[in-house]
Amino acid sequence: MRLKRNGSYTLIGKSKGKPNGKKPAPEEKKLYLEPEYTKSRITDFEFKELVMLPREIDLNEWLASNTTTFFHHINLQYSTISEFCTGESCQTMAVCNTQYYWYDERGKKIKCTAPQYVDFVMSSVQKLVTDEDVFPTKYGKEFPNSFESLVKKICKYLFHVLAHIYSSHFKETLALELHGHLNTLYTHFILFIREFNLVDLKETTVMDDLTEVLCSSSGSSSNGSGNGSSNSAGAQNHVKER
């Protein structure tokens, strides 16, 4: 069965994150963890049930449909604060104490600003999800053998974008009264990637505090493979370069 994919609700680069090498400054209070804001959602739907694979749907088709939808929603969410995410305000693609670099198709390391990094991500993912050979929409056309690995890369990069919005632009999101949308999107996305083990837990450790708060009531303490957030408790709050 082919699922309709829309924006309503070969990745040539790669990225790595690592501590920025500087002595970390005293950590600021994370506004997005304040209870008055974490409880804000646009729906009380049980996302744990929503992300589960329906029995009559092919796994790759389910991954393709959801990945495409998340791409459009995260791109839209970022667009609401993009005027505040500039080369001057966000000189690196940073999330808390983690700095991400982009690597081009030749493996060259590129230190870029946050808006440049996001543009690399969105442009690359856009090419993928509109490529009929990678994300087929016509009945009978097969998914490539590399499809799952491509989905994993896409989800990793989309996580970086979501995490940057929280880390650097939550105040603007709050001023726009879009924090409920952001919380809902984040919860849905995290439960989806955990259900199908699409992103390494070490990659998402940087936002474990938020994940625990937002997803604890959505059945995230134990995902489909038993790799709940508790497994990474006590881990360092940064992603090491691998």
Tokens matching residue 115:
């808006």
pLDDT digits (tens, 9 = 90+) for 20-39: 444 444 456 899 999 999 99
Q: How many angstroms separate the CA atoms of 161 and 49, rounded?
A: 25
The better pLDDT of the pair 241, 5 is held by 5
User: Phi and psi dihedrals of 167, rounded to 5?
Assistant: -70, -40
Mean pLDDT score of the chain: 82
Q: Does the pLDDT of residue 115 top 50, yes or no?
A: yes
User: Which residues contribute to the annotated binding site for Zn(2+)?
Assistant: 85, 90, 164, 169
CB 114 within 8 A of CB 90: yes
pLDDT digits (tens, 9 = 90+) for 47-95: 888 999 999 999 999 999 999 999 999 999 999 999 999 999 999 999 9
User: Which residues contribute to the annotated binding site?
Assistant: 85, 90, 164, 169
User: DSSP secondary structure string, 89-158?
Assistant: T-SSEEETTEEEEEE-TT--EE---HHHHHHHHHHHHHHHHT-TTTS--STTPPPPTTHHHHHHHHHHHH
Helical spans, DSSP H, in 104-146: 114-129
Q: Does the pLDDT of residue 126 top 50, yes or no?
A: yes
Helix pair angle (147-175, 179-195), 10° resolution = 160
Is pTM beyond 0.95? Reply is no
pLDDT value, residue 240 = 33
Contacts of 187 (CB under 8 A, 6+ apart): 41, 47, 214, 215, 218
Going from the C-alpha of 31 to that of each of 81, 103, 162, 203, the distances in angstroms are 16, 31, 15, 22
Considering only the top CATH level, what class is 32-232? mainly alpha
pLDDT value, residue 16 = 53
Q: How many angstroms separate the CA atoms of 152 and 160, rounded?
A: 13
